[in-house]
């Protein structure tokens, strides 16, 4: 049985100087090894949730809150957010704005310097993270002269060097071209396969359906759905009612569901090819 790594229990949050709840009685559990996609329209509360999971809200940036978030068995209510960076690393949308150092190598080392890692361990982690993120031959380059995809991979390398159990990507591919986006998804897939728990906020429904195993749908600060991706994307009417679309192949398949008689619509292009190839052979 998988061990829970993140437990959110009736958590609500409102920013300072307002009574409006951005998150309202949110509850869910993420287990070790899960790959969770968080989707929802703008201002659904996705980024607020991510910042709450790493203790930035409310313990660093303020705000009013209720409920509890438990990270790897420790309640943030008791730790006040301390120690979360040992468990969770977060990569934000604009990677370049997070960089402060002159070289890729120094950027990867920066957080480890702040935490007092030994030089030997830092060197080991730099090589590990740069190799994992495809940056081994770019260590002497300026972070500001990398492509968008390379910059996001560097931001992930900086987190990976700390070896957290969980990696959160908050719309980290939204400003990238298709090549850069695929670079990030490919890297995250490898890290997940190697054992990392991954949480990804992204508006690209097709990519979410292709890569994640669970989907959490937020709407106006409430959890609308949290289940296996294949189950969530069958609920087209419910998702559409909350301004979330299903993958295009799923939408097309659902329109043929009654005619063809299959139980569950495919959610990825590869699944669709397999499903419809079977019906083609049967002459349907």
**Residue 27, SS3?**
strand
| Percent above pLDDT 90 for the chain | 79
Distance separating alpha carbons of residues 249 and 115, to the nearest angstrom: 47
Nearest to 223 by CA among 238, 204, 212, 236: 238
Q: What share of the chain is helix, strand, coil (3-state, %, to 5)?
A: 40, 20, 35
Confidence band of 85 (pLDDT split at 50, 70, 90): confident
Nearest to 51 by CA among 66, 67, 42, 62: 62
At 91, give phi and psi (nearest 5°).
Answer: -115, 125
187 and 24 Cβ atoms separated by less than 8 Å: no
Selected residue with higher pLDDT from 130 and 2 = 130
Any residues with CB less than 8 A from the CB of 181 and at least 6 apart, and which?
Answer: 149, 173, 204, 207
Nearest to 220 by CA among 36, 49, 8, 7: 49
In the prediction, which pLDDT does 216 show?
Answer: 98
Lowest mean pLDDT segment, chosen from 9-23, 88-102, 211-225: 88-102
pLDDT in tens, 132-175: 999 999 999 999 999 999 999 999 999 999 999 999 999 888 87
Distance separating alpha carbons of residues 156 and 137, to the nearest angstrom: 16
Nearest to 226 by CA among 27, 20, 16, 10: 27
Q: Per-residue pLDDT for 92 more than 90?
A: no
In the prediction, which pLDDT does 282 show?
Answer: 55
In the DSSP assignment, the letter for residue 75 is: E
- Enumerate the domain spans of the chain: 1-87+167-175+197-230, 247-284
77 and 54 Cβ atoms separated by less than 8 Å: no
pTM: predicted TM-score of the whole model, two decimal places? 0.91
Distance separating alpha carbons of residues 264 and 231, to the nearest angstrom: 8
Any residues with CB less than 8 A from the CB of 191 and at least 6 apart, and which?
Answer: 132, 156, 160, 167, 198
* CATH architecture of structural domain 1-87+167-175+197-230: 3-Layer(aba) Sandwich (3.40)
Q: Per-residue pLDDT for 257 more than 80?
A: no
Distance separating alpha carbons of residues 39 and 215, to the nearest angstrom: 7
Buried b (16+ CB within 10 A) or exposed e, 114-153: eeebeeeebeebbebbbebbbbeebbebebeebebbbbbb
Any residues with CB less than 8 A from the CB of 133 and at least 6 apart, and which?
Answer: 153, 154, 156, 157, 160, 187
68 and 11 Cβ atoms separated by less than 8 Å: yes
Confidence band of 261 (pLDDT split at 50, 70, 90): confident
């Amino acid at each position: 049985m998988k061990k829970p790594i993140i437990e959110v229990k009736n958590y609500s949050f409102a920013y300072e100087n307002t009574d409006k709840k951005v998150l309202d009685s949110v509850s869910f559990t993420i287990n070790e090894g899960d790959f969770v996609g968080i989707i929802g329209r703008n201002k659904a509360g996705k980024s607020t949730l991510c910042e709450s999971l790493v203790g930035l809200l409310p313990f660093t940036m303020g705000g009013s809150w209720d409920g509890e978030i438990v990270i790897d068995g420790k309640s943030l209510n008791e730790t006040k957010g301390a120690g979360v960076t040992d468990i969770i690393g977060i990569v934000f949308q604009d990677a370049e704005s997070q960089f402060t150092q002159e070289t890729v190598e120094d950027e990867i080392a920066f957080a480890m310097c702040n935490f007092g890692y030994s030089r030997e361990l830092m060197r080991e982690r730099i090589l590990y993270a740069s190799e994992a993120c495809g940056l081994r031959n770019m260590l002497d380059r300026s972070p500001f002269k990398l492509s968008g995809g390379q910059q996001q991979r560097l931001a992930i390398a900086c987190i990976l060097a700390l070896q957290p159990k969980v990696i959160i990507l908050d719309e980290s591919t939204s400003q990238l071209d298709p090549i850069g986006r695929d670079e990030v998804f490919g890297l995250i897939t490898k890290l997940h396969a190697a054992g990392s728990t991954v949480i990804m906020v992204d508006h690209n429904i097709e990519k979410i359906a292709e890569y994640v195993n669970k989907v959490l749908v937020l709407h106006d600060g409430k959890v609308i759905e949290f289940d296996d991706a294949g189950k969530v994307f069958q609920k087209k009417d419910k998702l559409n009612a909350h301004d979330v679309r299903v993958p295009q192949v799923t939408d097309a398949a659902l329109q043929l569901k009654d005619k063809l008689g299959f139980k569950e619509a495919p959610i990825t292009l590869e699944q669709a090819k397999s499903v419809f190839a079977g019906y083609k052979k049967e002459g349907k």
